[in-house]
């Protein structure tokens, strides 16, 4: 099988944490949820987390995945893992596996990544706030439509605000072209965030699903329909995307990930596995049961 990124050299992700570009790795193979939680800076509602034997097929060396559950009747509930990471100034890649189901009442449920200045060991509430270029930024990929359609949810200084009274909640960037994933099946996601040069709008964000690039936002590309109200969507007749001015100062860099499971009511669940953060493209796991094809040769 063809491989992509550094995962090609680590079938089943075995040993990938030793690669020099890897900043963080979580495979959920701990002895207990409590032991797993010790490796994260902030755990919310760990009592609703459990390990499942249902893992992505390529994780042949693994036996566990993490399931997050909101029981019936809990109302708005957040079940989360948050990790403060060493501050990065260039590009970062976050690859993970997730399983959703179309019976879930998802609100904000996905991988969030960004930066806080100063760094913190727990997530900060940023709803309704426009970043000022030196305090924070983030982007996330999460279900936001029927049929498990996915969209980004981003806050950055150049984002749009609702009018006439500014209410600057996150902007959505895939309206009209939202990719969807299958219910009750593992999907491989990878997100790339490239920081901008302070004072410029050359920041980037890209999304791969199952190693297929579905969107790459950068200065001048793609053309977008700026619909207003915080909605953007790809449109060949629109204007070139202005790029991201994530920050105005190098005091602010990428320094956290947040596995967020926030729902309006239960019962609802989702699962996570094989989280890797690195400074180069990671790619989906190489199945250890198949030969590796790299640069045209089988290994």
Q: What pLDDT score was predicted for residue 107? A: 80
pLDDT category at 168 given cuts 50, 70, 90 is confident
The string of pLDDT tens digits covering residues 87-127 is: 999 999 999 999 998 877 788 899 999 999 999 999 998 88
* Structure-model confidence comparison of residues 25 and 57, the more confident one: 25
Reply yes or no on whether the pLDDT at 298 is more than 80: no
HSE, side-chain direction, 13 A CA sphere, residue 244: 24
Mean pLDDT of the chain: 90
**Residue 295, pLDDT score:** 38
Tell the CATH topology of 6-286: Jelly Rolls (2.60.120)
pLDDT, one tens digit per residue, over 185-200 is 999 999 999 999 999 9
Q: Write down the pTM of the prediction.
A: 0.93
* Residue in 104, 184, 115 with CA at minimum distance from that of residue 144: 104
pLDDT at 165: 64
Residues 6+ apart with CB under 8 A from 182: 148
* Residue 167: band (very low, low, confident or very high) from pLDDT cuts 50, 70, 90: low
């Amino acid at each position: 099988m063809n491989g992509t990124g550094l995962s090609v050299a680590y079938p089943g992700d075995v040993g990938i944490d030793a690669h020099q570009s890897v900043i963080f790795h979580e495979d959920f193979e701990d002895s207990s949820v409590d032991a797993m939680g010790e490796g994260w800076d902030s755990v919310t509602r760990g009592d609703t987390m459990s390990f499942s034997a249902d893992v992505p097929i390529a994780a042949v060396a693994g036996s566990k995945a993490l399931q997050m559950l909101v029981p019936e009747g809990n109302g708005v509930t957040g079940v989360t893992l948050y990790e403060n990471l060493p501050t990065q100034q260039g590009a970062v890649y976050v690859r993970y596996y997730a399983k959703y189901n179309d019976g879930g009442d998802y609100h904000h449920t996905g991988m969030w990544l960004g930066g806080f200045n100063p760094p913190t060991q727990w997530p900060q509430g940023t709803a309704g706030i426009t970043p000022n270029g030196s305090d924070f930024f983030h982007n996330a990929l999460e279900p936001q439509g029927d049929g498990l359609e996915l969209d980004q949810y981003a806050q950055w200084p150049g984002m749009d605000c609702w009018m006439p009274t500014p209410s600057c909640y996150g902007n959505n960037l895939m309206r009209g072209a939202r990719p969807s994933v299958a219910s009750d099946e593992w999907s491989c996601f990878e997100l790339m965030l490239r920081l901008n040069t302070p004072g410029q709008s050359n920041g980037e964000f890209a999304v791969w699903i199952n190693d297929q690039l579905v969107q790459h936002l950068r200065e001048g590309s793609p053309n977008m329909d700026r619909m207003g109200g915080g909605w953007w969507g790809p449109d060949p007749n629109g204007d070139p995307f202005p790029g991201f001015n994530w920050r105005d100062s190098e005091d602010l860099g990428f320094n956290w990930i947040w596995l967020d499971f926030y729902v309006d009511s239960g019962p609802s669940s989702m699962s996570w596995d094989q989280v890797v953060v690195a400074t180069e493209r990671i790619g989906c796991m190489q199945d250890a049961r198949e030969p590796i094809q790299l640069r045209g040769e089988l290994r």
